[in-house]
Structure 1
Amino acid sequence: MSLRRLLPGFAVLGLLALVARAVGILTGVNHLLIAIGAGFLLTNAVGVPEQLAPGIATHKLWLGAGIVLMGASLTLEQILEVGGVVLLVVVGVTATTLVAVELLSRTVAGADLSERLGSLLAAGSSICGVSAIVAVAGAIRARESEIAYAAATILLFDAITVVAYPIVGDLLGLSDVVFGVWAGVSMFSTGPVVAVGFAHSEAAGQWATMTKLARNALIGLVVVGYASYYARADADGATAGFSPRLLWDEFPKFVLGFLALVALSSAGVFSPAQQASIENAYNWLFVLAFVGLGTEIELTELRSTGLTPVLVVLAALVLASALSLAVLAALF
């Protein structure tokens, strides 16, 4: 895609990012949440013109780049300090969420939800939101209507949790580590997790991001598991859509860049001045990314979400959120 097509939309991202930073300074409200609100108003009050869409769509690139750069401010020693405990929490909560959604979909809501739609909801809510839905859908050959319902449901909860989690965190007075890990293990998509983490504090943002990346890395196991199950379930094997290429295409590759910079930081490659500059850079990248994230929250699409998928995912979210918060409060 040519640079000329990207510039108008990118300019809008930059302008709204500047506005978000300015309003944040004036009001004391976290500028990342304001950035999401600005994008939300743009897409729902005005609409995103066709000529701006390509540039605004680059927000996913800026989010990935920001996460990669954030690795320069961390070391392996910091991560390993409580990393083992966090990893156990990640695996436990992820498995609990996936099983809960599957059970609710196949029993309580069995008459209203297809088996594959239940699996898409389970993958999206337990791993990494819409990205997991797309990956699993390709492996089990889900219908487009099922993918749309699952994605709309997850996006609805992304919009809700990005507002609710900072409020709950402040009311409960959660520490940086507890809040960051809690958001990372129980919220759905990477963008909202990073946003609410940094809205709480810098340290909470780092823990939220690291926790979410560990959770995202489980996507491979989930895709392979679902592909194997549906291949065996169908006598003709028509759903055997898994391939290593599919897994690589959907794997969040910024995880690799993040780990590379953590390794360099651990080796002492970056000076304090360089780390400060990198921190400033990834903070600006996050503002750009969250303006774009806000444009993806479209009220018309959220209204089209059926009630049954919402209730199933809500029950699993409440369970995972309450369970993880209780465990983390006891541990930290």
Structure 2
Amino acid sequence: MAQDTDIVIDRGKSSWSDLWTREDYLAIWLGFAVIAVCIFAYFNFGPKAEFSPKIAEADQIQQVEETKAPFHTIAWHKAADDKAKLKASASPFGKFVSHWTKHPGSWKDNPLDAFVRSEAQAKAMNDKAMPKYEEAKAKADAALALAKKAESTAAAAGFANQALNDDAQARISDWRAEKKKASDVRKKTENKPYNYIPTLIGLCLFFIVIFGLGTSLMGKSAGAFAIGFPVVFLVATLAYMMGSQAIAKQYGFGAEAWGILLGMLIANTIGTPKKVLPACQVEFFIKTGLVLLGAEVLFSKIMAIGIPGIFVAWVVTPIVLVCTFIFGQKVLKIPSKTLNIVISADMSVCGTSAAIATAAACRAKKEELTLSIGLSLVFTAIMMILMPAVIKAMGLPLILGGAWMGGTIDSTGAVAAAGAFLGEKAMYVAATIKMIQNVMIGVTAFCVAVYWCAKVECEGGRSVTVAEIWHRFPKFVLGFMAASILFSLLDSTLGKGLSEAMVEQGVVRGGTRLLRDWFFALSFAAIGLSTNFRELAKYFKGGKPLILYVCGQTFNLILTLAMAYIMFYLVFPEITAKI
């Protein structure tokens, strides 16, 4: 059957050749090729043998310290710091990958600073930051001295005096806070010169090869893709540059939003050149990125917060999705059911990732997907700034505030950034709940596929077969789930310390995430370049999509806050106390 380019995924008969000719499967193979290379390189040529005894020694120190005192001692924290310094991404392979996947850096006034920094500029920046670092370091050293004194006093009493224990714990917390401030300032004294232009050219050529091969296997012209791709890559690079500007970064207006904005600006002014359109492989880029995202969704993270987090992420989400969809159909009477469900999933589950999976499951039009993603990006930026301020103004506990943000802000990155405004604990809770919620991507896609086959597009007198549901189901979600299972098994097999050093700080942060970020950036640039305002206008008629998103998100905010409070503070307060 001929491919309908106006929808996210088409119908078709399954055959063995789908495994190497269909976009979803090719996204899985490409994603797992990246994963396989990273795992092989880090575990065969990485520092695993060097890290293992160091982690074992640090674990031993922490175990001894836990038996000595009813709180985490200075020695315990120093052992934790020693483990945190162990990062496989600092290995030769990690440095190689990091070097060739660089995106434009931070800048304030001159956009060229995002691409090139001279040795003189780096030295000037370091010299300027050094006095602040020395001041912060002095405060951290003073706080450490007070913490040592308080801990010694508590130890002299055999850690039996609660008042002395509380004082020691408070002093240690103060030291940790000052130490983090000093560490953050120290990074500003470690600026190095760079020239990202050659590496960006090399990365562009690499993407032309891997995605060009996939395009060729799908029966399309690899040559046409290669001709148009540099423009898509250029827009994505400029989007990274704009997102790295100091003010844009502060307000959460990142590369995703800039990619769509710049692309749409080109498409609706001078017009996207016809030679560029074959390279706008939106779904291929983002589906491959979503397969790699699975590497970051670990079962251990799901269990870290336990049942309260699962209730916030897995109970609230489907309720909000279904209620928002019904509201859109029954109250707002949105003509397009596909637009309605894509916006509902985007807003309730986890933003753009859920939107693309849902759009594929219900065969939404590409303009509907673009509209949904645009709404998500705008409200994500707004909520990332406003929610921490509202939480502080309301005086909510950090754990409750983190859970609230994790369940409502769409983007995983924005959730972590918003949580950071409130502190480490809020950021941990928010990011963990968002990771738990990400698991719903596959479940949502499957349920939408079943519902669309059985109800929305059901023909009278004909029952829905398993084969029809399989045709409808977005296969790349299987890659996402497989990656999650694989990395969860790695995590549980290696143990917490070695998994953090080798998998999280190696395979993921030094490999899969670097490319995943680029794949997402390319997809948003391609969305913008292939979007026509006139096509979007008809979906905005009466402002119904905006009303749907606002009403759905309002319901989401209320229900998530209520569920988080009930689960974390009324039903399972003992779990909350241990976080």
- TM-score for the superposition, normalised by structure 1: 0.72
User: After the TM superposition, which residues 159-238 of structure 1 pair with which residues of structure 2 at under 5 Å, given as runs?
Assistant: 159-171=377-389, 172-173=391-392, 182=404, 185-186=407-408, 193-200=411-418, 201=420, 203=428, 204-205=430-431, 207-230=433-456, 235-237=460-462
Query: Counterpart of 2:254?
Result: 34
Residues 1:314 and 2:543 are matched in the alignment: no
Residue among 244, 260, 263 paired with 1:43? 263
- Please, which runs of 5 or more residues in structure 1 have no aligned partner? 138-143
CA distance in 2, matches of 1:284, 1:244: 32
Match of 2:234 in 1: 12
User: How big is the shift at 1:246?
Assistant: 2.2
Amino acid at match of 2:556: A
Task: Select 2:305's aligned residue among 61, 71, 82.
Answer: 82
Deviation of 1:46 after TM superposition, in Å, equals 3.1
Partners in 2 of 1:135 and 1:244 — Cα distance? 10
Paired residues for 1:118-137 under 5 Å: 122=344, 125-126=347-348, 128-137=354-363
> Distance between the aligned counterparts of 1:180 and 1:38, measured in 2?
27
Distance 1:50 1:178, change over 3 A: farther
**Contact 1:20–1:38 (CA under 8 A) maintained in structure 2:** yes
2:501 to 236, 251, 272: 272
Unaligned runs of 5+ in 2: 1-214, 217-221, 421-426, 569-575
Structure 2 CA distance for partners of 1:244 and 1:180, relative to 1, 3 Å: farther
Cα deviation for residue 225 of structure 1 reads: 3.5
Distance in 2, Cα, partners of 1:193 & 1:253? 20
Give the CA deviation at 1:215: 4.6
Cα distance in 1, alignment partners of residues 266 and 367 from structure 2: 25
Identity %: 14
Give, in whole Å, the separation in 2 of the partners of 1:49 and 1:314.
35
Per-residue deviation, 1:37: 4.1
Give a deviation string over 1:177-220, Cα, whole Å, max 9, x none: 76675556445xxxx52332343357444542332223542332
- AA aligned to 1:94 is T
Distance 2:342 2:236 in 1: 34
Mean Cα displacement is larger for which, 275-284 or 29-38? 29-38
The answer to whether the Cα contact below 8 Å between 1:9 and 1:52 also exists between their aligned partners in 2 is yes
Larger radius of gyration: 2
Aligned residue type for 1:328 = A
Question: Using the alignment, how far apart are the partners of 2:435 and 2:332 within structure 1?
Answer: 33
| Matched positions, count | 313
> What amino acid is the match of 2:320?
T
Deviation at 1:319? 0.5
Q: How does 1:97-176 map to 2 (within 5 A)?
A: 97-110=320-333, 113=335, 122=344, 125-126=347-348, 128-137=354-363, 147=365, 150-151=368-369, 153-171=371-389, 172-173=391-392
How many angstroms apart in 1 are the aligned matches of 2:431 and 2:274? 33
* RMSD (CA atoms): 4.1
Over 3 Å counting, the alpha-carbon distance change for 1:286 and 1:180 in structure 2 is farther
Secondary structure of 1:98's partner? helix
Select 2:559's aligned residue among 311, 319, 323.
323
CA contact (8 A) 1:66 1:281 kept: no
Amino acid aligned to 1:256: A
316-325 or 196-205: bigger deviation: 196-205
- The CA deviation string for residues 52-86 of structure 1, in whole angstroms up to 9 with x for no partner, is 55277454156325424435xx5x44421224333
1:61/1:45 CA distance change after superposition, 3 Å? same
SS at match of 1:113: coil
Residue identity opposite 2:443 in structure 1 = A
- CA–CA separation in structure 1 for the residues paired with 2:505 and 2:554: 38
Q: Secondary structure at the match of 2:234?
A: helix
For 2:411, the aligned partner's letter is V
Q: Is contact 1:197–1:206 with CA below 8 Å preserved after alignment?
A: no
Cα deviation, residue 49, structure 1: 4.5
Give, in whole Å, the separation in 1 of the partners of 2:250 and 2:516: 12
Tell me: CA distance 1:290–1:326, structure 2 relative to 1, closer, same or farther (3 Å). farther
Aligned 8 A contact 1:197 1:208 in 2: yes
Partners of 2:259 and 2:473 in 1: how far apart?
Answer: 31
Which deviates further from its counterpart, 300-309 or 320-329?
A: 300-309
Structure-2 separation of matches of 1:316 and 1:169: 17
- Are the aligned partners of 2:446 and 2:473 in contact in 1 as well (CA < 8 Å)? yes
Q: More relative contact order in 1 or in 2 (CA 8 Å, sep 6+)?
A: 1
Is the contact made by 1:97 and 1:320 (CA closer than 8 Å) also made in structure 2?
yes
Question: Within 2, Cα distance between the matches of 1:115 and 1:18?
Answer: 34
Change (3 A) 1:259 1:83: farther
Distance in 1 (alpha carbons) for counterparts of 2:275 and 2:431: 33
CA apart distance, 1:223: 2.7
The equivalent of 1:141 in structure 2 is: none
Structure 2 CA distance for aligned equivalents of residues 84 and 211 of structure 1:
13
Q: Deviations over 1:152-195 (max 9, x none)?
A: 552342132221221123312588876675556445xxxx5233
CA distance in 2, matches of 1:275, 1:107: 45
Q: Distance in 2 between matches of 1:116 and 1:9?
A: 30
Matches of 2:251 and 2:515, distance apart in 1 = 12
CA contact (8 A) 2:310 2:433 kept: no
Kept in 2, the 8 Å contact 1:135–1:246? The answer is yes
Q: Specify whether residues 34 and 309 from structure 1 end up closer, same or farther in structure 2 by C-alpha distance, changes over 3 A only.
A: closer
Q: 1:271 to 1:85 in 2, by over 3 A?
A: closer
Tell me the alpha carbon deviations over residues 231-287 of structure 1, each in whole angstroms, 9 at most, x when there is no partner. 77x534498894223225363532320231122022116472564233143453354
Contact 1:231 1:237 in 2 (8 A): no
* 1:8-31 Cα shifts (integer Å, max 9, x gaps): 25743674476368x35x569269
Q: TM-score, normalised by structure 2?
A: 0.45
Does residue 92 of structure 1 match 2:315? yes
